[in-house]
Structure 1
Amino acid sequence: MRSRKGRIEFEDDEGVLRQYRPHPNGGGLVEVSARVHPSAFLGEAAYVDPRADVRADARIEAGGWVDTGAVVEEDVVVGTNAHVGSRAVIGRGARIGPRARVGAQARVEAGGQVAADEVVPERAVRAAEPQPARAGWSGANRRDVAA
């Protein structure tokens, strides 16, 4: 690991030298080809790898890792020491618990939850839990209800 003009360099598993810069909101490290919204928070020792995309108001806690090409949508929380696998997609408002692992190319749908220490396998889809119906509401006016 070397430091150069505000950037830190690491050699990846394939021997390619990668440059990371600290994110202004929290100080976590962002590889130069990754995109992280200015309102996102990256905790200490959090990493966002090449071509990953972390969107507005997302929060990657200390030690969290967003792998190559992954997408973390708005208002997501990735817990302490959790890992979002390569090309995984974490939907808006989802919660990934501490030490959880989301496999490569997996998807956690908007509002979905992954518990602490849980593993979502590669290419799996984690659906959001249905919200309880409001009192007095039958759902008859919903567009997705068959006539």
Structure 2
Amino acid sequence: MELLIKWLSIALSSSVKFFAGPLLGKVYNLPWWQTAICSFLGMMVAVILFSTVARAFFHKYMKGLFNRNERRITPNKRRMVRIWNKFGISGIAFLTPILLTPIGGSIVAISFGTHPMKIIGYMAVSAAFWAIVASIGIYFIPFNFH
């Protein structure tokens, strides 16, 4: 039961801020591969929820807020548009764990009109890559958490 709670807390942490999961797994002294799996699953739960449920909410309630005639161009919006124009959904998915949160990356992809299945597919590849890289990196960097 204690192990299940650790796994769930890693997954929940990764669904909110991706790199918190591998750090928490290191603190719990779990094997890196368990941490990677839990981090992957946590990110994917957030992506699936926000690319399906939030998409309906976005299109119903929020679309009017973003389609107004007034243009508010911020540095973050400019950066996201530049990444989108260069790399599309693959660039957003790849950079989501680093620059955004899984929730934020899903919302950015939705706002550009990407289909939810495409978001889930690209985010799954990105989550698998970053879960392995982050877990191995954190586990083999000599930190002392005690």
Question: Does TM-score exceed 0.5, indicating one fold?
Answer: no
**Structure (1/2) with the larger strand percentage:** 1
TM-score after normalising by structure 2: 0.23
Pick 1 or 2: higher relative contact order, CA cutoff 8 A, min separation 6: 2
Judging by fraction of residues, say which structure has more helix.
2
